[in-house]
Structures are given as structure tokens and as C-alpha cells.
Structure 1
């Protein structure tokens, strides 16, 4: 049953939109220079307070001083830290050891070796993407063998290929951002649409597995 993460939330209206759709995770880009969706840590604290308690907040960081994600994990602002930079194993393990909270490490997938590198990561979850900074484009899914550990799938996923993405790679969660926007802003209707689609896909998958179990 694939979970849903909606990333790049920036304002109160975005919070209201996701509260209505109830994804599993909400992502906030935190203090990343040059990223239009980047927010200060203080702004994220304010927005998270308005988030439905059933939705887990995730902070997205790029080569941040480890004290930044650690502080936001420790004070309860974030459920997990998602790393999109050159953070190494020591960095990941420092956050894990000092907070006891999950770490998601993003990997840019361009070769089979990139996938193997991701699978070796000590992070609690890995995120497979077209580009470590997020490009809004899908990567070559044929590069990914069956994955036994839970992973997030990102990069160019939208209503037109959601079913194919889940049916092909069976990710633990899908991560969407730009495909849920209109003119650079989160679109409430698109968010509702993708949440409904995923619910239908998961319902059909559960029915299929139930039927298979009955036939065994």
C-alpha cells in the first residue's frame, strides 16, 4: 500500500489543502539558498503547527549544518529529515544517534551503480529521484531492480503515470511536488485528485492480494 508525500509546502493555503487530502507526509524545504520553495526554520515551525496531526512533517535539507535538522527533530517540529546534498554516512548517523528520528537520504539515479549505492545507505529510508535537487522529471525506472527496503519514489510523478510508477517499482511511498502546482503554486484540486487516485490504486492492490491469497 503506497504512501503519499506532498513536498514543497510554503504557506497557510498549502497546509489547508493537504489537511483536506490527508497525505501521509508533508515536506518543507528548509533554508536552501536558491530554491523558490525554501523557508526559514521559524516559518516551518509556524506552518507545522497548523498541520493535521495525522500528517507527518518532513524537513528537506541540502548540505545544512547538522545542528539545523537536529534542532528541528529534537523540538518536535519534524518527524524526519530528508537529505538532498552530499551528506555522508557519518552525517546521517549523527542525526540518527542524536535524535532517534528517521533520516531519508535522496539519491540521483542515472546508472545501476547509483541504485546500489542508495541501497547501501544507513539512512532509515532512501529516496530515488532523477536529480538530488529535484528536477520534476522521471528517471529511467528500468535501472531499479526489486527493492527490499522501504523507499520513496520521486521525480516527475503525476496523475498520468502514478499507476504505472506504483505498478512498476512498488515504492513504499511516492513523493510529489511540482506536478501538483499551477503557475508555481500548490493546486488544491490537483492535490485532492492525486490523493483519490492513490486511494483507488491501493484499494485495487489490496483486493488483488486478497484474491491471490484465496486462490493459494
Structure 2
């Protein structure tokens, strides 16, 4: 993947960048130990209602144990803006991910108030779902009428043909399809959760294995 970056003097430079990796839904210190060993680029704390949900106190403890070279993403669904801002201001999260029905005005408000990047999740069932956003990144996930995310199912990646810009790809990614996803869709970052779990809990061996697999794909 080629990413165009602006150098300090404003001159564009082009560099080959490996696909980034996000491991989402961490809720235990064992999970933190696993990602510290595997070293993905991002991890996710889910503050929305789910079996992976964490509260502010738990997230603070987990963030303190997290390798500082790994960015923590807070995942929210129609969450009170004041609480999101507080989490960012306290350094518990480094990036905000909005996974609900939030308006673009909320995206801009959070960018202005926190100064941290915002990811806007879009649930994809047809091409019209792939819409623009003022967020720093878009995340494409599987549409499920019964929930906002975390279904563990993949969607039709053909729908992303021709999609430009840096985006995160989520939805049912695991060791059996991750290479195909990267080669077909060419995402900025792949976002994994259930695909690195065993019996509903993050699996250290699966996390380390898939991070190594992805690094080799783009190595």
C-alpha cells in the first residue's frame, strides 16, 4: 500500500507501508499481555454495550499496562459526548471510534474538543452505505440489523471496489481469510476481534499468530 504523506516542508513523499493491525475488544490484563507480545498498531476498548464492554476504571488500568507504542481506540455507540471527551483528555484512549448513528457534527465536535483522530464506522450492505465522512478514517464493517457491530460475519468486499482513502476493514476477519482481505481490498488497517478469540475470550496464541501472518503479507 502506498501512503502519501506531507513532509514538514509541505513536500509530498511516498513510502511503502505495511497494513496496520487493530485487535479490538480487550477487557482483561491477559489480553494486554498478549498484544504487548504481538505488537499490533492499535487495540480497541469497547465502551458500548457488549460482552466485551469495559468501563472507564477498567480501561484506565488496561491502558496503564499497554505498551506505549500501541494506540488505544475507544469504541462508542451513541455515547455521551462529554464522557468520550473525558476519556481522551485523561489519556485513556488515543483515538475515538464512533460505531452508532452519530451525526457528522458530532465527529467535528470531538475532533475539535479532543484533538485526537476520529474513526467513523459504516455498516455495509450495499454501495450506498459507503459514504463520505469528515472523520480522519472510515471503518467498514458488516451490516447486521440486530446490532451495531461485532457480529463476526464478513461482508461482500466487492462492494469496496474503487473505494479510495485510508480505511479500516472489519467484519469476520480471521486467519483463514485475512490474506484474501488484504490482497483484494488493500485496507489501511485490518480490525480483528472474534477472529482472535477462543470461547469468547481473546486467545494469546491466535493474536500472535495472525499479527505475524499479516506482517509477512505486507513485509
TM-score, normalised relative to structure 2: 0.88
**Contact 1:7–1:176 (8 Å) recurs in 2:** yes
Which of 117, 123, 146 is matched with 1:102 structurally? Answer: 117
Question: 1:10 aligns to what?
Answer: 27
Question: 1:73 aligns to what?
Answer: 88
Structure 2 residue 105 is the aligned partner of structure 1 residue 90: yes
**Contact 2:34–2:207 (8 Å) recurs in 1:** yes
Structure 2 residue 206 is the aligned partner of structure 1 residue 190: yes
Question: 1:155 aligns to what?
Answer: 171
Quote how far apart the aligned CAs of 1:148 are.
Answer: 2.2
**Contact 2:85–2:114 (8 Å) recurs in 1:** yes
Which of 79, 91, 101 is matched with 1:64 structurally? Answer: 79
Aligned-CA RMSD value = 0.8
Quote how far apart the aligned CAs of 1:179 are.
Answer: 0.8
Quote how far apart the aligned CAs of 1:98 are.
Answer: 0.5
**Contact 1:27–1:57 (8 Å) recurs in 2:** yes
- Name the count of aligned residue pairs: 198
Give distance in 1, aligned partners of 2:41 and 2:106: 26
**Contact 2:45–2:72 (8 Å) recurs in 1:** yes
Give distance in 1, aligned partners of 2:151 and 2:166: 22
TM-score, normalised relative to structure 1: 0.90
Quote how far apart the aligned CAs of 1:134 are.
Answer: 2.4
Quote how far apart the aligned CAs of 1:135 are.
Answer: 1.2
Give distance in 2, aligned partners of 1:40 and 1:100: 22
SS of residue paired to 2:25: coil
Give distance in 1, aligned partners of 2:161 and 2:216: 25
**Contact 2:150–2:193 (8 Å) recurs in 1:** no
Quote how far apart the aligned CAs of 1:147 are.
Answer: 2.5
